[in-house]
Structure 1
């Protein structure tokens, strides 16, 4: 196994603990994914939902809400009543509006408009007690080589929601070795310019980690194309916690035939009572 060994193990563990704490803070945000109360797919037919004011529908690539007597939403700090139009909304785009007791996310996923109300008092958020994880260890900090494709490859992947697909442009793959076994992962663009993002599973999936997907952020390659794969920071996507997420799944080639015993484990929310004892 090729590893990058930190010179100070205390610093390594402390840095991981700080990262894990920030992850939990973001996850537990009052309007984060643990606060989502429903996933509603909009149609041309106006619909009313139990966790959002008004009637909602799509109309030629825009989202329309019609608010009844006594109903209001807050859009960009302004109180709105009656009829209001949003959009058009870009694929994987969206925004939130304020409602009494929380917010409502309006977004577009898989070519369809969705509504996701979020309330800080949602039981899933209130009861959340952190995400279990493997203890961090330098042995899971690996060196890889980024191999760019001649042109980005449109890659279709499944989603946590049955019947939904996502299409991402894959700029290249990351090659690495684990205990002498050559492996590779198709990479997508990350959040920061030049950075990469990897969706994967391994043989711990469904045993100690979430079955469908984990994610790993990878900093931009250096001038030699080398990257660091710190699997200690492998994370769950929102679908690991809630059924109201539309997370992408890994491409088939990213299902690793090895056990990556590092990073975040199966959330308590998905564990059986006997597994939590």
Structure 2
């Protein structure tokens, strides 16, 4: 696929802002195409409280590049790989983090790396990565513009057409498409597709698709619809899958006590 690099086009975006409470803020900006094929959003969160913010991170199919500072840690840059299980974490007091959330193609073509070795894990990068420093954490809009310009510089002129078609089909179906069907549609063998996924991203295509289906189901749960609307075998299968990726059953997830499931809180606001 040929990609025309147009900075003007990349600057247009859909903005969404969510405030969980007076002490915890989350904001993100969604880019337009062609950048949207590689980046899901550019965002930030901030814990202004004097206490840690308890959260549960759920698998969402994104790879996050964090630029972060807190009162207990100096400025650092961290790349977090794909997650397959829920994880409880505490965001330290007075923490601010700006981030770029990549889709898998962004890892391969913009970051130009493999994340197979950091599934459910992370690695620290150089503190001068992309020439971002602690002063850039003072103004999110300025950070966003700086990152957009950097991403536009790194945007590839061409990508493998099969990979473009592969991810278009996966995202369009919310992960509800079989490997064999993908193979037939894009003329790429199932074996090669799974080898590609495991080598680059550290998990099978089927595992990634289940994560996308879970993420799509969260939109329904956020609206109080606690029954399967996607391709689950039955209600029990639906409950089992939601619990696998969130740690709780759908009814408990909907309650979202103390806004600890940040992703669900964001979906409720949209």
TM bucket, shorter chain: under 0.3
TM-score, normalised via structure 1 length:
0.23
Greater percentage in helix: 2
**Greater C-alpha radius of gyration:** 1
Greater percentage in strand: 1
